[in-house]
Amino acid sequence: MAESSSLEYKPTWMVAAVCFVIILISLLAERGLNHLGKGKVPLLSTEEFHQLHILIFVVAVVHVVSCAIILVLGEARIRQWKPWEDTISNVEKGTAKDTHRHHILVLLKKHAWGYWRKAAVVSWTISFVKQFYNSVTQSEYIALREGFIIKHCQAYSQFDFHKHMMLSLERDFRHVAGISWYQWLFVVVFLTLNVEGQFSFSLNESTLFVITFHNNDIKYFIFPSRMAYVFLVIISTFSFLQLLLLVGAKLAHIIIRLAQDVDEMKKSQGQLAVKPSDEYFWFNRPRLVLDFIHFILFQNAFEIAFFFWILWTYGLHSCIMERTGYNIPRLIMGVIVQVLCSYITLPLYALVTQMGTTYEPVQVTVHSPVII
């Protein structure tokens, strides 16, 4: 039955008919465009179309390559947790319960004990700072691992949570490596608004004039030259760096909230286990975190690709190219986004998104000898 669906078993007249229809539609479309465009000036010349094709190609290549680099570095960071998985998997059944209890208590001591830790300002501050040092500890990993297994895989005592997490990350990152329609829409909006008049900058040696148009009124702001480039960097690249840090802080904050839930259940029910829930994700949708990461990585790749495309096509001193003092910080911020996403945000995402209510089994890949 599988072979009957192959093209080699189809009648030749059917193949020829389909080819004829495809060619006919192509010819009609070409003739129609030529007829409609007769006597009219094209919006872009052939050379300009070629340059736009190069831009699209460069953006796509830079995005895919940057995502691949982030995935490789992120998985390398996650592999550092493998000894934790091996340690807890090799614990004898008689002592496994005590080991889990120990790590749960360490988690509670770090995130739940003390009334001041439950204040929103304190917990969010801890979550933000936690990204930059020891973003995931052994106790957090083992506690979340146990909660996942109790919720979804209680029948499998030897469940390899680490392998499941890695395969889930590879599956999700296939979505990140692609480019969605709304991301291309962002590119169109960026190119549309990047014109003189709607939002323009006037630079000289002493000041920066930012001129905006609102309700037919002209408004301008004057900044000292030393503040000028800082201002420009903040309103462009920093916004997406801040969004990435917000995503990382949110993931770290979910761990804290789960620990506080365990503390409440311990007091009311005497239970010591993490309970996975969609409650603490934005709009109860763990998938939304991946969409944010997807958009941030694409925007970062677009910033880098757009700079090098202008540099290659028009040169360093082109009117499209911003001043060097502005572009260098943007490129540095792009590298920082890559590093933060690789070593902080992506590993946190791989672990914390397993705490959702829904369990999606990961199918075997050609590299995986065991079904999970």
**How is the chain split into domains, by residue range?**
47-202+238-355
Give the pLDDT confidence score for residue 300 in this predicted structure: 86
Give the pLDDT confidence score for residue 203 in this predicted structure: 37
Cβ contact 260:254 at 8 Å: no
Which of 3-12, 52-61, 247-256, 359-368 has the least mean pLDDT? 359-368
Distance of CA 43 to the CA centre of its chain: 35
Give the pLDDT confidence score for residue 322 in this predicted structure: 59
Please name which of 202, 240, 269 lies closest in space to residue 345, comparing C-alpha atoms.
Answer: 240
Mean pLDDT computed over every residue of the chain? 76
Measured in degrees and rounded to the nearest 5, phi and psi for residue 219 equal -125, 140
Amino acid identity for residue 371 in this structure: I
What DSSP assignment string belongs to 165-180? HHHHHHHHHHHHHS--
75-88 pLDDT per residue, tens: 888 999 999 988 88
- With a cut of 60, say whether residue 346 has pLDDT above it: yes
Residue 91: count other Cβ atoms within 10 Å of its Cβ.
15
Percent of the chain with pLDDT over 90: 6
Residue 238: which pLDDT band, with cuts at 50, 70 and 90?
A: low
Residue 310: which pLDDT band, with cuts at 50, 70 and 90?
A: confident
Q: Tokens 């190609």 sit at which residue? A: 57
Q: Tokens 């501050």 sit at which residue? A: 125
116-166 pLDDT per residue, tens: 777 888 889 888 988 888 888 888 898 898 888 888 887 666 788 889 888
Residue 367: which pLDDT band, with cuts at 50, 70 and 90?
A: very low
> Hey, which of 1-10, 237-246, 311-320 has the most confident mean pLDDT?
237-246
Cβ contact 151:359 at 8 Å: yes
Residue 93: which pLDDT band, with cuts at 50, 70 and 90?
A: low
**CA 96/CA 17 separation, integer angstroms:** 67
